Amino acid sequence: MAISNKSAIEAMLFAAGEPVEAEKIATVLEIKPQEVSELVGSLQKEYESRHSGLCILKLGESFQMCSRKEYIEVIRNLLELKKNTPLSQAALEVLAIVAYNQPVTKAFVEQVRGVDCSAVLRSLTEKAIIEEKGRLDLPGRPLLYGSTENFLRCFGLESLEDLPELPEKEVPNDGSENQITLNEALEQNSTEE
C-alpha cells in the first residue's frame, strides 16, 4: 500500500512531539520543502474545517503538532497537571527586553531594568523560554541570551517578526543619573556587538 505524503507528514509530526524542520521532512519524503509547506497548509485547513482538537504550528522553518489552546483545561484535568504559574512582571519585562533586542547580555538587560536580573534570566532559561546564544567577544566573554522556539510557541508567534511594534516612549526620568532611556540602551547594545 502506497502512503500519501500528507499522511506521512501528519504521522511524523505526531510522533516527533517537538518542532521538525521542513527541510528534514522534505529529505525523508524526497520532496521539496515548498511541497512540505503546501501539504502542511492543507492539513491545517482540514483540522480547522472539522474543528479538530489538534493544530499544526509553524515555528520559523519548522512545524509542530499541538493540541488547541481551547482544550487546555480538559487536558490538564486528564493529566492532573498543575496550572503553570504565570510569569512575574519582572520575568515578562526581562523576556520583552531579550525578545526585542536579542542577542543581549545580562549587563544590557540589567542596564535597561536597573536591577539585578540573574535569577530571572536563570528561571526563563530553565523554562526553555530563552537560551544562551553564545558569548560576546569582549573581556570576560559575557553570555548572550535569545528567545527559543518554545517562546514562539507559548506566545503563538510564527517568528520574531510577528512581535508587536514597540511604542516610542522614553523611560520616565526621576532625576537619577543612572537612569537611561530605552533608545539609549538599545544604542549601547548595538555598539557592544
Residue-wise pLDDT for 74-108, tens only, equals 887 776 654 456 788 999 999 999 999 999 999 99
Residues 30 and 111 in one domain: no
CA dihedral 78, 83, 18, 1 (to 10 degrees): 20
How buried is residue 20: exposed, middle or buried, by Cβ count under 10 Å (0-12/13-18/19+)? buried
What order do you get walking across the sheet with 54-59 strand by strand? 20-21, 62-67, 54-59
Contact predicate 97/103, CB 8 Å = no
At residue 35, the pLDDT reads: 94
Using CA atoms, how far apart are residues 193 and 188, in angstroms rounded to an integer?
Answer: 9
Average pLDDT value over all residues in the chain: 83
Residue 82 lies in a domain: no
Confidence of residue 32 (pLDDT cuts 50, 70, 90): very high
Query: Tell me, what CATH number does 32's domain have?
Result: 1.10.10.10
Domains of the chain: total: 2
Residue 83 lies in a domain: no
Cβ partners under 8 Å of residue 143, min gap 6: 105, 106, 132, 134, 135, 136
Q: Which of 21-35, 124-138, 152-166, 177-191 has the weakest average pLDDT?
A: 177-191
Residues 19 and 101 in one domain: no
Q: Which of 15-24, 70-79, 121-130, 136-145 has the weakest average pLDDT?
A: 70-79
At residue 87, the pLDDT reads: 83
Residues found in the chain: 193
Domain extent, residue 96, equals 89-192
Residues 54 and 139 in one domain: no
Residues 115 and 162 in one domain: yes
Span 173-190, mean pLDDT?
Answer: 48
How far separated are the first and last CA of the chain, in Å rounded?
56
Q: Cell numbers at residue 168, please?
A: 516610542
